[in-house]
Each structure stands twice: as C-alpha cells, then as structure tokens.
Amino acid sequence: MDLTAVASVGGFFVLRTGSPGGGHLPLSRLYAGESAPLTARIDTVEARLNAPERRTAASIAHLGLVARLWSIALGPAVLHGEVPDLTPDALSWDGGQSAPDDLLLDGVHALPGTAERIRESVQCGHLVPLADAFRRDTPLSYGLLWGNAGSALAGAVRELHGWARRNGRPDAACRALELGAELFAHPDLAGTGTLMPGPAFRRRSCCLYYRVPGGGLCGDCVFDRPPGHG
C-alpha cells in the first residue's frame, strides 16, 4: 500500500506513520473519556471563527475530523484495494494540529479495501464513539452528527472521483462511486442526504456554519438561503 501516492489526492488523504509522541493521543483514550484534547480543539475552533455559540464550533470541529477519518480509509481502498488497520489504539490524534499533521498511525497493517471493512473500521470503530465524545462536551443532536458524517463521506468520494478522472484512472473513479454508494446504503447514512451524479450531495441537516460571521452556506447545505434572511 503506497500511502505517498494516496497523499497526492489532497491534504485530507495524507496519513503519517510512526509512534505517537508530543501531543498525539490514541483515539481510544479520547473515546474512553479523556476529553481535554477535544475540549481544547473546540475552544480553538470557536475562537478562530468567532463562533456565536459552542454548538457551532463543535459541529465544525467534528466535520473536519470525520472528513479526515473517511479520507484516510477511502483513499487507499480506491487506489490500492486495501485499507490500513485504523484501530483506535493505533491511530492517534493531535487536536492542536491541522491536516495532515493531526493524525498518526502506529504501523501499517493492510486489510481488504471493501465497503464492509471501511464501515467496520471508520463508521463503527470511530464515528459512533466520536459522536458520543463530542456530545459529552456539547449537546449536538445525533441527526446533525450523522449529517456531518454523510457530508464528509460525499466530499471524500467527490475528491477521489475528481482526482482519478484528472489522472487517467477511470477504474479508480468508478471504484470511488461504488464504495460511496455501498457505504451510504447503511441506515445511519442513508437518511443524511441525497447522493446525486457528479458526484454531488444535498444533505438533510445543517452543520451550522451559516451562523459563523460571514460564513454563508456550504455547497451541500439543506438550506437555499441562510435562515432568517428572507
């Protein structure tokens, strides 16, 4: 599995390897309740965006991390047919860093790059406990959090599909769409939005970014105009 080749898709697809140190914390510890790094990350996002409420900052922080988790699994699966073993014990996160320095994998063990394996690894192994970790800090609804997950999945598929077409990899472009469709078939993701050709996505919830001063609407937002703007 060539992680360097996967990294060429974009910064969110970069996965560095090595033993955790410095500010990197195994995600298993975050999921188990060691919440200080997550609290600090939400604090940082809240300050940088001048967010009017913590709920908005928490949602945006969640969306960014979920996008990273989908990307580092989907990239290798699409380009190489394999996915690294992303167990929460082996995958560390530093909330003080942005992509690609935020995630660090302690060793690479290749697994089959199937939708079932990605679902088990990312959706069940990370997104479910990550949602609970965020909710311990901030009262976000599961509907919003799964909407973020659907939006991030669609975004990763779109990036991979575009990269593959630009680089003469029609096989990978098709594989990205196939994996995306299989992953969206799960009940937790199927209701998060509408996956359209392109591939485009229209979510059925809002990540609250419009509440940030000057934020506007995301490209896949459920709204046609910011609430309260006529």
The tens digit of pLDDT for each residue in 54-111 reads: 999 999 999 999 999 999 999 999 999 999 999 999 999 999 998 889 999 998 899 9
Residue 165: is its pLDDT beyond 60?
yes
Residue 52 in this model has a pLDDT that exceeds 90: no
pTM: 0.94
Q: Is 198 exposed, middle or buried (0-12, 13-18, 19+ CB in 10 A)?
A: exposed
Q: Which of 151, 152, 153, 177 is nearest to 164 (CA)?
A: 177
Q: Are 110 and 116 spatial neighbours (Cβ–Cβ below 8 Å)?
A: no
pLDDT for residue 224 is more than 90: no
Beta bridge partners of 16: 104
For residue 228, name the pLDDT band (cuts at 50, 70, 90).
Answer: low
Q: Give how far the C-alpha of residue 37 lies from the chain's centroid of Cα atoms, to the nearest Å.
A: 18
- Could you tell me which of 123, 156, 130 has the C-alpha nearest to residue 11? 156
For the segment 37-44, the average pLDDT, to the nearest whole number, is: 95
What's the pLDDT band for 230 if we cut at 50, 70, 90? Answer: very low
